[in-house]
Structure formats: C-alpha cells, structure tokens
Structure 1
Amino acid sequence: MARIYRDSYGIPHVRGADVLDLAHGQGRACAHDRAWQLEWLRRRATGTTAELVGAGGEPWDRFAASAQVGETARRAFEGLDEEFRAFVTAYVDGVNAGLAEAEGTAVELAELGATAQPWEPWVPLGAFHAQQVLFGTLGSQLWHRRLREVLGDDAHLLEREDEHSAGSNAWAVGGGRTASGRPMVGGDPHRTFESPGVYHQVRLVCDDPDDRLDVAGFSFCGTPGVQHFAHAGDVAWAITNAMADYQAVDAVGPDHDGPTFAPGLGYRGASETLGDLGFAALLPLLRARTADDVDAAFDHWVEPVNNLVVADVLGTVRYRLAGKVPTRDADGGWTGWLADVHREDAGPDGHVVTANERRGPQSADVGTWFASAHRARRIDELLEGGPDGGGGFAPADFERIHNDTLLGDVETLRPLLPEALRDWDGRMDAESVEAGAFAAWRSALVRRIAEDAAFDGLRAPAPDPLLQPWFDVTTSVGLALPSLVAAGTPFGIDVPALARLAEDDVADAPPTPWGATHRFAPTHVFDTVRHAPLPPEVPDPGLSGDQDCVRCVGSLPGITDAGYRGSVARYVWDLADRAAGGWVVPMGASGRPGDDHHVDQLPVWAEGRLAPILSDWSALTETGR
C-alpha cells in the first residue's frame, strides 16, 4: 500500500510502488483531509445536493440534470482507454478507503446527521466537471444578450471579464535571465474563495523502476493526479483561463432532447458534444519530462480552454492554447474544432506572460470577452525591468511580482478622484488609508451610476436562479467602471457630476485603511444554502490587492469591499531546484474546521509569502493518513 507522509503544513507526500498504488494513496490522503468536500462534490456530480441541504440545493440539482453533468462524466469515463480507467478507478478505491477511515471527522456531515457515501468510478470526472462548468461563458452569454437587447450598440460599455470566471496569472522566464541559469515559472489561479479550498496540494512519487515519477502540484479535490500547476523535476507548467467560447446557449423548442440550461434554452459544451473531459491528459502529465511531453499531454485537454505556460531544464519556455475551441459558421453553428493551435517559444533571454487578456489577432478565433490587459502588461513590465538590484531572477523576485498592488486603469479614474487622492500612487495596500478612501468613493460612484434609469430594463430576474449573480446591475457597473468613465457620458449619464456627488457621499467618513474592510471572505456551502453556523470561524485578515491588480483579491465596488475572489493558490517553480521555489493556498491542506492544518497557511498567504516545497524525506513524517 502507498505510504503517506506529511510536511509541517500537513501537505501529503504520497509514495507508491506503481501508478495504481500511487493513485490509491492520493485518493486516501484526499479523503483523510477533505471528507466533507468529497461528499459535497459527489452530490454535485450526481445532482443530489438538495437531499443533503434542502431547498437551497435545488437550483444546482435542476441544472446538473438538465445539462447532463453526470451523464457526460459517465460517457467520458467509459471513453477512456483501459489504463486511464484503471488509474481513475484506483483513485476512487483510495477515496472510499479513506472515507471509511475518516468517518466521523467531518463537522459538516455531523451537523447534517449524514455520512459520506462511497464513490463510483466515474465520479472524479463528474466532480471535476461540476467544478468547472459554470466558469465558462454560459452566464456571460445570457447577460450580454440582455445588455444588447436593452442598451443596443453601447452594450459593450458594460461588457467585461466575468467576475464568476476563473482567471489567473502565469509567466515564465528563460534561463538566461535567472540567477540559477535554469527557467522559472510563476503564477496564481483566481477563483471564488471557498472553504475548504478548491485545490489540494500534493506530491506524488512512484518508485516503479520502469515508471518513476516525482511531481509536486495542485490537484482539484476529488481528481487524481495534478492538472493545471505542477513541477515534475525536469519540467514545470501552469495555466490561465483562455476566456474561450467553448459553450453555447440556444433557443430550443419543446421537442429538444439534448442538454438544456433553463426552460427553452439548449446548452452545448465541448465536453458534452465530445463525451470527453480531458482525463487522458492526467497520466501523461505525471510522466512528463520535457516541455514537449507536457505540450503533447495537453493535446488531450478539452475544457476549460486554457493558456498553457511550460518550461523545462533543457531551456524551453513555451506558451500554447490548450483545449477544444469550436469553429463556427456565419450563423454561429459549430462546424468542427480549432486545429491551428497557437504556440510561441521564448529564447533563454525571453519570457512569456498570460493573464486572461486578448493575445492578438489569434484571439478572435478563441473568444469574445477577455480580461483587461492590465495584469498582463504589468507583469510584462516587471519582467522587462528585471529583479530589484539587478542580476538574474530568483524565486524571491517572483514573490514580489505576486504581491504587486498597482491598480489597473487607475489613470482613467484619476481626473475624477477627490482632490485629496489626485496624487495617490494607485496601490491597493492593506495599510493604505488612501486606498481605503478611494474604494469608498468608488463604491459611492458605482451605486449612483447603477441607480440611473438607463439600466432599468436590465433589472428583471435572471432566466434561472442559478444565474442571478451574473444579472446584478451594480456588480456589472462596478466591474465596468473604467469603461464607463472613459466614455464620458455613457447612456446620457453625467459621470463627472456623479463623481462629485459620490465625493460628498463619503466626505464625513473616518480615515480607514483598505485592509480594514478588504478582508478574506471565503464562502462555505452552509453560508449559501443552509445558513447554519459552522464553528470555528475562519480568520479574516485584511488583504492587499484588488480585482485588477496582479495581486488579485477581488471586491465588488458598490456592494462590498470584502475579498470574495482572488488567488486560490500561488506558486514559484524553479527548474534548477524545486525546493528553492514555493507554494501556498489561502487556508490549508485540511478541510476540517479546528484541525491544525485547516487554516495554517492563511497567515503565509495573506502576507504574500510562500510555504516551502520539501523534497527531503527526512523532513517529512510518515502518518498513514
């Protein structure tokens, strides 16, 4: 049986005799740490959350059934080659063994009077799909459709990166620009903060002399192997959301028998169309030794469509698009799949950056709505400028990039700022009173703009309760504020006049540092569907950064300053020495409230530091759990 070791943060290091033994061990370790989360994911995959939490689960269960989430996962599992099915099945066997060993440890299940149920072999695919399906463009498509119906040609002023999408930063530099002479990769994925966190840090080691591997990375809870961010010794990789249009919502009649999203709305997704969830990439990724190996593994990827950054000890530094993007005819019908995958290599003195931005003419074939280019431009600027003090980049320099708090598009807003803020440096630092004053003024301005009658036609309920967050007018105005300000008088709204009124709104507010209101605010299932207390509470440190900073900790101007979304992991992969890099998640390895490793990484993450990646087995403790 695979042996499970833990470091000082409780992060599992799993050592197996072969890849099936290793998968079994990974499943056991995940179940020991995340029994509640695994049960919730299983119910999401099977569309049975309401059986556990009541009416609050019904919107998801309806969607999971109509969009055929579980059916797609079953088809994808049956479509895997025998070796890959055996790999996933071994993981599920480990999950079930671990759940039996961890019975009674999940506070949430005890509160509900429930126990975790065994997984079927297809469930990892369903759990993965359920975690990703609403991070595509479904909600955005319907919201933007309403924008165009109500606002006409000016609708583009409210079109922006979807606050519910999965963004990220990722970059790599060639060995000619590092202190070690080997490439380095850095970055962080951006999603809604959840408790427990979506990622499970893990190191996976296989001792089979014919199949040796040693990979450290982040795994989606409930999914075997590592998917998006990992260091395999000789090669390391990372991704960002490519913001691709690989989903579609179409009006359909009563005889439609395919996936649906809401009454009268048919749903098409790359995975549903192909019956494939990309799991054939997982074993090749674990076995990868070069950038070419990782590149070839991602040929199997389906969705989410990603921008891949990969580097290896041979000096390769590469960007590529990974995933299935449909090609379309003039009427929007799908005609096939984009075959001309864009790639670019950087030399030893070069670098690559991706941050959900439009990447050039090739992006027209990929998607419609992209993130502001600020994060990508800012990272590129910091890499071009080189490390502080000169020389080559070291891991500490990448940490500084992670922590850059310069707010994108602040110059667009500066002419409207209150006089006292005209010389503010634009940095959203937790201790900054100026950043706090700016945020208060910004929220007041957003609320005044959102109240305008020009948007009354947008205020109808969403087509389905599950989509309501996409259809909030104040949220949309807040995220599109720079575009609205740049337009001068959008929709006939005198924005400069409202900016002066917003200044009056906050004139008597006491000086407040940004971190006093911009605090860590993860969501838990009980918060949204059951409204029951779950002790002990998660600490809520004040945070630097904001939605359009490299240090992404998103707030919702006009609604809340709380940090609801942002970096759900950070990492630096050093190809010269894995232990020289680092990794961190916002909470901890354990999903059990009160456990020593439930929130022990939170102070490290909140301070913008990284936890060590340990490779020395003598520094680990064998636990069996």
Structure 2
Amino acid sequence: MGFEVFRDALGVPHVRASDELALAHGQGWVTARDRAWQVQTDRWRAEGRLAEHLGDAGVAWDVVAHRLRLPDTAQRAYAALGADDRAWVDAYTAGVNAGLASAGPPAEVAELDRVLGGTTPDDPWPAWAPLGVFLVNHALFSTFPRVLWHDHVARTARESGHAGLAAVDPLDLVRLFDPASDGPTSGSNAWALHGSRTASGAPLLAGDPHRVLELPGVYQQIRLACPEYDVLGLAFPGVPGLPHFGHAGSAAWGITNAAAHAAEVFRERLRRTGGGAWEALGPDGWEPVEHASARVRVRGGEPLTVDVLETGRGPVVVRGMPADADGAPAGERRDGPGQDAGPAPDLRAGAGQDDVTTGAVPRATVEEARSVRMQTRVDADLGFASLRPLLRARTARDVAAALAGWVDPVNRVVAADADGTVLTFDAGRVADRPREERLLPLHAWEAAHAPRPWRTLAAPRVVTDAAVDANEWPSAPDRDHGSVYAPDRAVRLRALLADRRDRALGPGDMAEIHADTHWAGAGRLLRHVAGVDGLTPAAGAVRDRLLAWDLHMDADSPEAALLADLRAVLVGRLVAEPAIAALAAPHRAGPAFDAWFGVRGRVGAALAALLDRTDLGIDGPAHVRAALEEVAAAATPGDHWGARHTVLPAHVLADVPGAAVPAVPALPLAGDQDTVRCTGTVPGVTDRAFRGSVARWVWDLGDRARSRWGVPFGTSGDPRSPHFADQHATWAVARTVEVVTDWDALTPEPLPAGAGE
C-alpha cells in the first residue's frame, strides 16, 4: 500500500497516500512507530491481558475488562462492520503490525523485562484491536461509575447508624456528594463563533478536552491526505480516523462530553440453580443468566479465573453485595408462569428498608449485584461506521450526517464550514429515561425500569452568533440527557466571549480564552470565610487577603496558594466528621473504580455545600476558623500557586514497583479543577494536576493554515525522542502553535525498505 510520511518541526506526522486504504495503513504504521508503548498497552487493556505483561499491576483492570465483557463487545462490533469499514480497519491494523515489527520493542518493554524478569510477550494485533482500543478509552468515561458512587452513598448512609445521615433524603445526599463539577475523568470546553464575530468573516471553532493527563498524551496530532480527502486533527492512537476533532479544509468539527446518562446501572438479584447455573430476577420472574469464565495470566504470579455473568440487562460489574432484607407483601411471589421459584423468599415482617433505589424489593436471592447496560454492547456497535464519512465531510451538515450513527460517548458537537454555516448538536445513543431515573440503579425486576429505546436526538441548531458547550446544564430540555452538569466554565466562557463583542476575533485571540483562570467555586468557598470573626491577627490577615483576591488561580498568585491551603485543611477536617467518614466504607466495585469512591476528592468538590450542613453535625464556622488559623501558622512567605501546582502525568509503569517512570519538566501551572484552563487536583491529597486539557485546538474556516493546536507533551511516546515533551512548555502557559499545511514546508521522512509500498 503506497503512502508517504512528512514531518513538521514538532514531529507531527503528515501522511499522504494513493488511496484511502493505503492511507489507513500509513496512519497505523506511523502511529505504531510514534506511540508503540501506548498502543500496545491499550491493546493489552482491550484484551484483558494487562497483567500478563505488567504482573500484579494489571490485575484490577483485567478483572473489570472481563466483567464488562469488553473484549467480547469489541469482537462483536468488529464482526458487525460493513465490508468497506472492515477493510479500512483491517488496513489500519496491518499498518500497526508493520510499524511495530519495524520499530523494535519500546524502551518501556525493556524496563519491564529488567524489573519483572523474563521477556514481555509480543504477538500481532488481532483484527478487532482498534475497536477494542477505542472501547477501553471510553468504557470508564461513561457515567455508570458515577451511578455506582451514588448507590454507595445511599447504601452506606442508611447502614451507617449515623442519625443525621439516615434522616436526609438519599437523593439530597447523592447530589451533595456529587455536585455540579467535573468528575475524575471527564470534562471539556468548546465554543463556536459565527463569521459575523470573526476577523476573517468565516466561522471559528475552538476548545479543549479534559481528561486524565496520561503520558504519552491521549491525543495524537496528525494529518491524513489521499485523493478523497485531506484532513488534520487529533486522533486516538490505535484508532483510525479523527473521531473527535478535525479540519477538512472546508468543514471542521469538535466535541465536548454531553454528560449523558448513557450506560445504565441495574440492581440485580442473583441466585444459583441446582445445576450450578445462575438466574436473575426480572420483570417476569427468574431468568437465565449467561455465565462464562475468563482466565487472567499474571506475569510472575499465579493465573486467576474471573467469573463473568451477564443478565438480560447487561454484564454484572459489582458482585458480592449482601442482599437486603427488603420485604414484599406477605405471600407475594415474583416467579413467572411455569417457573420453579425454588425456596420461598424471606418475607419477614419489618425486615429492613428499601435502599432508596425505589420501591419494596422481594428477597428471593442469595446475592445482590449491579449490572451495566452499555449502548455499545446492546447494539454491537461502536459507531465506527461514522468515521469514514466524517473524513469525507465537506460541510457542517455533512459532519452532522456522518455523526448520526455515533454511539458512545454521547457528545455535544460544534461544526462549521467555509460557506459560513455553524451548527451545534448532540451525537450518540442514550436511553430515553426521565431525569429522576438517572441518579441511582434501576430495579431489574420492575417492568417500569425495563430497558428503554434510544432517545431521538434533536436536530442540529444553527448558530448565528456564538455557541458554548462546557458540560453545563443545557438550556434546551431536548438536550438534557444527564443528571450532573458543570456550570462554571460555560458561564465564564460566555462572559469572555461577550466581553470581546466589540472586536472581530481571530485564532490568536483564542489564547486568552484558553488561558483563563477565574474560578467561581472559590467565591462560593470564600462566602464561608467572610463571616468568620474571633481570629488571631495572622489568621485575620489571611482572611482579608483571600477576600480581596480576584479569584484567579494564576501560577504566580500567593492568594491562590492560600486558597489551596485553606481548601486542603478543610478537606482534612471534614473527612474526619462521622457523617462523612461513614462514606469511606468498602465499595465492593474493585480497585479499578477507586478514583470514583475517593472520599477526599468528593469532599473537595462539595466543600462549600458541606460547610452549610448543620443537619449532618457539621459546624462550618468552627471548621473555617480553625482552618484559617492553621493556614496562617504554616504560611510560607513568597509562596505561590505554581510552585506546587505542576503536572502529575499518569504513566502505566508508575504502577509497576521498581520501574523507572519517564518524567517531564515540573513547570508551574495556572488554573484548577473547574476553571476554563483546567488543571485539576485532588484537594487534600495533592496540589499537582492529574487531569486537564489533553489538547487545545482552534479551527479557522477562513484559512486552515491559520488554525492552531497543541498537546501537553509531544508527538512521540518514546522518552528518548526529542519530540517526547517538546510541546510541554507551550502547553503549560496555555498556548498553541500554528498547524502546517504546506507540503513544501514539511520534511519527508525516509521509510524503511518496503514500508510505504
């Protein structure tokens, strides 16, 4: 297959080929060469084979992958592809295999062999691997881990024995401990300007996705050109095409997460039958459960077997929960016609209360569990049929038509074209549930909770001025697909764009917006500081400095550092409160979900609201007074936010004891969790940024060459490469670089013999 590779000064690959299949092969080849370690580890995740290569460090993920049936889902979706899409994916996979074979083992593999001994297994990518890589990059990006947290809050509150917790409406508790702010993994900004607002008279799109700051980076800058199209944008390494952000010359697109309640969690009752099989309680009685086992090999250890169950709702992800003794009316049986009920349910009078996932529940099983209904598994479809039409899009409406087949994650899309059309719309599949059914697990045995058809999404809306999408509560009810939204960034973005209404904007003007550090959440927290009296002079001075502060989390701001100190002390004090300490009870979802159940992180996000909760026994003024005194006593002259707010990238080797982990410079950062310039921390745990803008992009529809982009680290995943982290300094100050579109300004890359043929 004929392809060529060119590079710009930052090492960004521009792949040009004789036809679409040759281009897919070339994209796979160059991705394997640039991101060998990354695509291999994601492939191992997709197969549930991480522990086979990493040892104990991979076990937690492999268990979840098999319980969720991710390998099987990816294989089913691959088998369901149309012939042309399958040929395109196959060409990409062949390119990956050729690139890996020609590049040799990545440096990280040598490090694994040094630490763990032996030789890291190596085998070619299976045909379905690109779908698996895409799936694992989004499996926990869904809202279902959030619902598991909600479920945990409701159950532990009821079982805690704490009078204050037990007296609060469980839905109030759920909202309290999952406020309108970004979760552990997701978030994003995007905005669109109609040509009437721009210097060129053509539309302008910009934004930045927020995810965990993985090293190498989540996105890959790349250009893909063949006779059918010439598109540049941000790819997922290991996945063909440009599914999220792209500029095709006459059309461009970008996305944010719609915060949709897409994957549904069901509360299941399970029991074993006499023959060792499993059954689940459904709306019509006991139903058979699909039962399989998966063998997980562990490097340097003994293999383990994962019990895999799948009900009529979906794979069981949480097991071993004690069945509540919720009573049904005396004598009631929930067995379907002709089914053997087995032993009668325990219907003891007054045996417990409902766990607030609604309604009285018959006790007819020995085990309670949680299953997950994922769109991708229900339809054996990952939305890959959208990827090729997206590359061919010539207008904004072409983009919308291409994404009509999108599945997951559910996204908000901004699209524009050179003719001046700007559109905003949603893409993906989401169950048609009322808002009250999106917070907690549904009852598998209730007909009213049975799986619903997918919602019909609203038609694209035409933008005539400006549009902002930042995971906020949508103003249009037909775009409300979720339960928890993040309002602050959207409000701030609209204000920033409104402040610039008196001048026409160009790509360079987007830097000020990308870099904005105003944090509205600080104002909500400082409301509690304003009324505190009886302080020592030193603590009073801290209070006065904070109240005079402009709420900008700038790297050189000493007040931002004081605010972070105050926040951390308050988190430490509040997690010791009995009402909150109860939530640290074991969650049973397994270590792969620990980030969603971290009480310190949840308290940090809910801090301002918790300080008002006298009904939970919390004396907010006393905590704030003590925290101000502690901060004043420990204050260091000259301290500023950027001195401790540096990037904390996630690298797979960090979980392998004794392994040397590649590093990047510890540059000072501005911003925080829910500022436009997102550099999220875990208050009370670390002031370093573990999540944030994993790319920044600006698409100019007047001239693609004026477009801009940037990533946190570099184009290469090889720590020995000069392009491993050469964009980090630019990213750290929230800047971007111009894209290069002139082929004559690029450097041809010599290819190994036979590579481009």
**Range of TM-score over shorter length:** over 0.9
Tell me the equivalent position of 1:438.
Answer: 563
SS at match of 2:738: coil
Is 1:244 the counterpart of 2:263? The answer is no
In structure 1, the partner of 2:496 is 382
Amino acid of the structure 2 residue aligned with 1:17: S
Partner of 2:90: 89
Structure 1's 534 and 108: CA in aligned 2 closer, same or farther, altered over 3 A?
A: farther
Pick one of 727, 730, 733 that aligns with 1:601: 727
Q: 369, 373, 385: which one pairs with 2:484?
A: 369
Identify which range, 55-64 or 4-13, moves more after superposition: 55-64
Q: Does the residue aligned with 2:692 lie in a helix, a strand or coil?
A: strand
1:561 aligns to what?
Answer: 687
Corresponding position of 1:229: 245
Matches within 5 A, 1:108-507: 108-112=109-113, 113-114=119-120, 116-149=122-155, 150=157, 151=165, 152-153=168-169, 154-155=172-173, 156-160=175-179, 161=181, 163-207=183-227, 211=228, 213-252=229-268, 253=270, 254-255=278-279, 256-257=289-290, 258=310, 259-263=315-319, 264-328=369-433, 331-341=448-458, 343-347=460-464, 350-360=465-475, 362=477, 365-371=480-486, 373-386=487-500, 390-417=502-529, 418-463=543-588, 464-485=590-611, 487=612, 489=614, 491-507=616-632
Distance in 1 (alpha carbons) for counterparts of 2:423 and 2:480: 20
Give the AA of the match of 2:98.
Answer: A
Q: How many residues align?
A: 614
Instruction: Tell me the amino acid that sits aligned with residue 376 of structure 1.
Output: A
Tell whether the 8 Å contact from 1:35 to 1:116 is kept in structure 2 after alignment: no
Cα gap change, 1:328 to 1:441, in 2 (>3 Å)? closer
Aligned residue identity for 2:377: E
Distance 1:614 1:44 in 2: 34
Cα distance between partner residues in 2 of 1:58 and 1:143: 22
**Identity across matched positions, percent:** 43
Question: Alpha-carbon deviation of 1:88?
Answer: 0.5
Alpha-carbon distance in 1 for matches of 2:457, 2:28: 37
Q: Does 1:524 find its partner at 2:651?
A: yes
Question: 1:582-616 deviations in whole A, cap 9, x for unaligned?
Answer: 10000001001121100001011112111220011
Q: Distance in 2 between matches of 1:260 and 1:461?
A: 18
Q: CA deviation at 1:490?
A: 5.5
Distance 1:455 1:518, change over 3 A: same
Question: How much has 1:162 moved relative to structure 2?
Answer: 5.0
User: 1:131/1:398 Cα in 2 relative to 1: closer, same or farther (>3 Å)?
Assistant: same
What are the superposed Cα offsets for residues 217-255 of structure 1, whole Å, 9 maximum, x if unpaired? 001110001010111101111111101111122233143
What residue number does 1:55 align with? 56
Q: In 1, distance between residues paired with 2:215 and 2:418?
A: 36
Distance 2:661 2:188 in 1: 31
Contact 1:234 1:290 (C-alpha < 8 Å) held by counterparts? yes
Give the TM-score normalised by the residue count of structure 2: 0.79
1:595 to 1:281, Cα distance in 2 relative to 1, 3 A: same
RMSD between superposed Cα atoms in Å: 1.6
After superposition, the C-alpha distances for 1:29-56 in whole angstroms (9 at most, x for unaligned) are 0000011111111110100111111112
Query: SS at 1:321's partner residue?
Result: strand
Measured after TM superposition, the shift of residue 20 of structure 1 is: 0.3
* Correspondence for 2:702: 576
Asked whether the equivalents of residues 557 and 641 of structure 2 are also in contact (C-alpha less than 8 Å), the reply is yes
- Gaps spanning 5+ residues in structure 2: where? 114-118, 158-164, 271-277, 280-288, 291-309, 320-368, 438-447, 530-542, 752-757
Counterpart-to-counterpart distance in 2, 1:143 and 1:250: 13
Q: How far is 1:386 from its partner?
A: 1.2
- Written as runs of structure 1 = structure 2, the 5 A alignment for 1:21-60 is 21-60=22-61
Decide which structure has the larger Cα Rg and report it. Answer: 2
Distance 1:107 1:62, change over 3 A: closer
Give structure 1 stretches of 5+ with no counterpart: none
Runs of 4+ in 1 over 4 A off after TM superposition: none
Deviation at 1:333, TM superposition (A): 2.5
Q: Residue deviations 1:287-320, cap 9 Å, x none?
A: 0000100001111100000011111111111110
